[in-house]
Chain A
């Protein structure tokens, strides 16, 4: 048996005898299990509720009476954002975004009823998910269990003794690291089981569950390396503890907030109020379909008339009002999409600035990987909004087409002119399609690389530090 393993066995025995250490680990495991259970319950509840509401909204749409199609354009439809199964691992931004989107003609609405506006201030303390436990609390446990691992040997003089007996300092450090990595693995074990179960038993892809396991594995190993490294450097266990706690407080508690706040402050977003006014101005500049002398819509009418080879809109084989509605919707939607794209680009730019802080604190890289894999990051939210917008556009244009084809120009005088209710039943319901796992993995790659770089440099530092340990005992 190698020396490192013997060291590890002794250290393990010591930890096992320490009641506080065992209790800490048990508490952490209980908290992980509890968080996994409640988060899964909540996810199931939220998902069931949203699909129930989606069904209700779909049903209500299909059950509308005979109507003028344009009334249906205003009646609109709802889209509910389904919850990703992996969101029970990391809820990410889900509670901060609305999940209920009202789709109607001429407008792009904002998703409403996000938890953040409904939950007093409690949400700001964090959400009880396995991600929270592993990101924030597990490193603390590793710090408490491992801060004295090497420093203790030095403080009590056993280090010199061990080295004179021929033990390589590298072996000592490796043995201590082995034990702490073992504790980390133990802390991770229930999460690994849960994730594997979610990856195999639900619609969530296994590859993303494995990405999460890998990300959090690296995160905890990173802390094990740091703890052993500081313990090797420190003269006393006490000093190691203080330094490690300070490191933890700065990197896990302080930097993420400070970074996000700095970015929010230096890169402000325009308010909805301003955007709405800008949109209205651009729309007014574009033309007014109700104005018979409007240059843009005059040109459009001429184009339609030439296309059908007639001279008056009354002679068209289709209802010109429907065509006008389609053209108007096409223009306004393009405009709305331009503004929405600009807003999301600005937000993604903000996140790229936040990403830069991952060079100061690896938790930022971990959070990003975790949210991307769990489908609870800004990009996946944007995906939902864009799919819903696409659905809205198709729905409205389909209704405009019905107006163009099922109603005649002469007969389309008021909203009392109706078409049969059966037309509402053919219009497809909204179904959200999750991003392909390969794309998700690709998006997680940069921050995963940052995590790996952190790991590589910290392991490198540990090697240097353990060499120094050898020199200092000689």
Chain B
């Protein structure tokens, strides 16, 4: 192991390399810190809003239950839902800045409420978050390139190359060893702050392992690539140009082109169609014969079929029946819209199999449950809660039961679904394959220069 001490001494003396590593350590610590603080801010917001919601319901309750009419209560009572950040959310904040993680719903048609946006500053979102995923995907390769691009050419430039290669035995795998040491230090600079954050947030060991493997494979990929280029025998400048070109193409150009192609080939305009159709269905109901609406409603809800017939004039049960039908009538559009979103998700995942940067983003965001799928599952949780809310009110409406203060206290409460424990195994496997290939080619290229 004397070579290790020796190599470390060499590296320690290179001010530029140590500065690069220190910079990476600082940046990844900053990123983890800012991710943790953002997550705790979101948790505080959720807690604060839960309090606010309780107070709001307490003030509303006497006024709403005064007449004992479930329809009025259902119309005016908004109930809170929330999407708790996962333990790994601090690593990759993903869509949590642009999509709501708290949403109030009431028993009216769901589709008009589900797509409400959150208040966020789009110009800030445009810049992108400074989180661990960003440091790993964009900055870590730059540091690796800076550490490795002149691995061979630097020695040639200093006039030591011939001597190094002539050393018996000692030179075997010299470049691989040097590159491995540098890569290991980069890995440490990334993972130490990450592990600190994991401890602070109580991340599970399994999630931790997924993140460690992801970081390891991504670092291995870039080290392998750098080794391949650096041992080709070109000048330092040619190496730097080639590696920076790879970096720009892999993390900037191709993903951007991919996004443009994806947006073009998988259009999701059904969102708007869904909204237009839903409005027609819900508001058109006022002009339809009320009995027809009820008959149609009973087809899906036969349990209310034999309740009292509609009186003359307005009745809440008819109102909620056509609200629900509004949702049911746009079910095909909802399915098409979701299918469009899922297709985009699938294609970007596939792109991640080829582009390690995209793959790492996909894996981290999936593990952190901050991606599109997590957003959809939050919407599912809201829909399930909304269904629960509807079925809670229906007995009061159809059997004309008095809705009192006790019944108000019995209103369903939202139960968030835990979104942890997802291991994106296919993406991880693809990343490992690509990285393994790059690392292996790098090692072979590294050994060959000796001969």
Contacting residues, chain A, for B283 (C-beta < 8 A): 71, 74-75
Tell me whether A117 and B99 are in contact in the complex, defined as CB-CB below 8 angstroms, given that A269-B121, A271-B119, A274-B52 are known contacts: yes
Which of B127-135, B180-188, B194-202 binds A?
B127-135
Q: Is residue B416 contacting chain A, with contact meaning CB distance below 8 A?
A: no
Interface residue? A409 (CB, 8 A): no
Tell me whether A60 and B280 are in contact in the complex, defined as CB-CB below 8 angstroms, given that A38-B260, A112-B117, A257-B130 are known contacts.
yes
Give the Cβ gap from B158 to chain A, nearest Cβ, in Å: 12
Q: Would you call B252 and A137 a contact (CB within 8 A)?
A: yes
| Stretch of A89-97, A220-228, A323-331, A436-444 that contacts chain B | A89-97
Residues of A within 8 A of B351 (CB): 122
Q: In the complex, are the beta carbons of A112 and B275 less than 8 A apart?
A: yes
Greatest chain B CB density within 10 A among A56, A114, A125 is at A125
Segment touching B, from A156-164, A275-283, A388-396, A461-469? A275-283
Instruction: Give the contacting residue for B56; candidates A126, A263, A277; CB below 8 A.
Output: A277
Total A residues in contact with B, Cβ cutoff 8 Å = 95
Given the interface pairs A140-B248, A261-B34, the reply to whether A117 lies near B95 with Cβ below 8 Å is yes
Interface-centre pick from B98, B112, B150, B313 (highest chain A CB count, 10 A):
B98
When the two chains form their complex, are residues B104 and A276 in contact, meaning their CB atoms are under 8 A apart?
yes
Minimum CB–CB distance for A199 against chain B, Å: 24
A377 at the interface (CB under 8 A from B): yes
Does chain A have a CB within 8 A of B123?
Answer: yes
CB distance from A250 to the nearest CB of B (A): 9
Q: Which residues of B contact A126 (CB under 8 A)?
A: 252, 255-256, 259
Q: Does B399 reach chain A (CB closer than 8 Å)?
A: no
B275 and A273 form a contact (CB under 8 A): no
Binary per-residue interface labels of chain A (93-137) against chain B in the complex, 1 for a CB within 8 Å, 0 otherwise? 100111010100000011111111111111111111000100011
Query: Which residues from chain B contact A343 at a C-beta distance below 8 Å?
Result: 119
A126-B127 Cα distance, complex, nearest whole Å = 9
Residues A273 and B146 in contact in the complex (CB < 8 Å), given A93-B123, A119-B263: no
Residues of A within 8 A of B372 (CB): 117, 119-121
Q: How far is the CA of A265 from the CA of B38 in the complex (A)?
A: 7
User: Judging by beta carbons under 8 Å apart, are A111 and B255 in contact?
Assistant: no
**Binding-face segment, B170-178, B358-366, B403-411, B429-437:** B358-366
A57 touches B102 (CB 8 A): no
Cβ contact within 8 Å between A120 and B345:
yes
The reply to whether the CB of A268 lies closer than 8 angstroms to some CB of chain B is yes
Pick the interface stretch among A175-183, A184-192, A241-249: A241-249
What's the nearest-Cβ distance from chain B to residue A394, in Å? 20
Tell me the total A-B contact number using a CB cutoff of 8 A: 247
A191 CB to nearest chain B CB (Å)? 17
B68 to chain A, nearest CB (A): 17
Contact between chains at A260 and B124 (CB < 8 Å)? yes
Q: Which of A217-264 contact B (CB under 8 A)?
A: 237-238, 241-242, 245-246, 249, 253-254, 256-261, 263-264
- Of all chain B residues, the one with the shortest Cβ separation from A113 is B271
Q: In the complex, what residues of A have CB within 8 A of residue B130's CB?
A: 257-258, 260-261
A242 touches B41 (CB 8 A): no
Residue A53 interfacial (CB < 8 Å):
yes
Contact of A112 among B80, B115, B237 (CB under 8 A): B115
* Contact indicator per residue, chain A 370-394, by CB within 8 Å of chain B (1) or not (0): 0100000110010000000000000
Are A256 and B256 in contact, CB atoms less than 8 angstroms apart? Answer: no
Find residues 294-348 in chain B having any chain A CB closer than 8 Å to their own CB: 313-314, 340-341, 344-345, 348
Asked if A272 CB lies within 8 Å of chain B CBs, one says: yes
- Mark each residue of chain B from 253 to 264: 1 if its CB lies under 8 Å from any CB of chain A, else 0: 101111110111
Residue A472 at the B interface, CB < 8 A?
no
Report if A307 contacts B (CB, 8 A).
Answer: no
Within 8 A of A (CB), among B90-125: 94-95, 97-100, 102-104, 112, 115-125
Asked if A76 is an interface residue, CB under 8 A from chain B, the answer is: yes
* Residues A128 and B121 in contact, CB atoms below 8 Å apart: no
User: Which B residues touch A304, using CB under 8 A?
Assistant: none
Interface of chain B, helix or strand or loop or mixed?
A: helix
Q: How far is the CA of A113 from the CA of B340 in the complex (A)?
A: 13
Size bin of chain B's contact surface: 35 or more
Q: How far is the CB of A168 from chain B (nearest CB, A)?
A: 28
State which of B34, B236, B263, B314 has its C-beta within 8 Å of the C-beta of A42: B263
CB-CB under 8 A from B157, the residues of chain A are: 238
A257 to B104, CA, bound (A): 31
Q: A213 at the A/B interface (Cβ < 8 Å)? A: no
Indicate if B49 sits at the interface (CB-CB under 8 A): yes
Q: Are A271 and B102 in contact (CB under 8 A)?
A: yes
When each residue 396-408 of chain A gets 1 if its CB lies under 8 Å from chain B and 0 otherwise, what string results? Answer: 0000000000000
Question: Chain B residue with minimal CB distance to A273?
Answer: B102
Given A38-B264, A110-B117, A116 and B49 contact (CB-CB distance below 8 Å) = no
User: In B28-86, which residues have CB < 8 Å from any A CB?
Assistant: 30, 34, 37-38, 41, 45, 49, 52-53, 56, 78, 80
Nearest-neighbour CB distance to chain B for A417, whole angstroms, equals 12
Tell me whether B287 is interfacial, beta carbon within 8 Å. yes
Closest residue of A by beta carbon distance from B53? A277
Task: Write the chain A residue with the least CB distance to B154.
Answer: A238
B241 in the interface (beta carbon within 8 A): yes
- In the complex formed, the residue of A with least CB distance to B134 is A257
A256 CB contacts on chain B under 8 angstroms: 127
What is the distance, in angstroms, from B290's C-beta to the closest C-beta of chain A? Answer: 11
12 contacts between A and B (CB under 8 A): A53-B276, A110-B118, A120-B348, A121-B94, A121-B362, A137-B248, A144-B241, A242-B240, A257-B127, A260-B128, A272-B117, A377-B123
Contacts beyond the supplied A42-B263, A238-B150: 13 A-B pairs with Cβ under 8 Å: A109-B116, A116-B95, A125-B255, A140-B244, A148-B237, A238-B237, A245-B142, A258-B130, A261-B130, A265-B38, A273-B49, A273-B103, A281-B56
List the 6 shortest-distance A-B pairs measured between CB atoms, nearest first: A260-B127, A125-B255, A93-B122, A122-B259, A96-B122, A261-B130
Residues of A within 8 A of B (CB): 20, 31, 34-35, 38-39, 41-42, 49, 53, 56-57, 60, 65, 67, 71, 74-76, 78, 92-93, 96-98, 100, 102, 109-128, 132, 136-137, 140, 144, 147-148, 237-238, 241-242, 245-246, 249, 253-254, 256-261, 263-265, 268-277, 280-281, 343, 347, 350-351, 354, 371, 377-378, 381, 414-415
- Please report B residues at the A interface, Cβ cutoff 8 Å: 16, 27, 30, 34, 37-38, 41, 45, 49, 52-53, 56, 78, 80, 94-95, 97-100, 102-104, 112, 115-130, 134, 138-139, 142, 146, 150, 157, 236-238, 240-241, 244, 248, 251-253, 255-260, 262-264, 268-269, 271-272, 275-276, 279-280, 283, 286-287, 313-314, 340-341, 344-345, 348-349, 351, 357-358, 361-362, 365, 371-372, 375
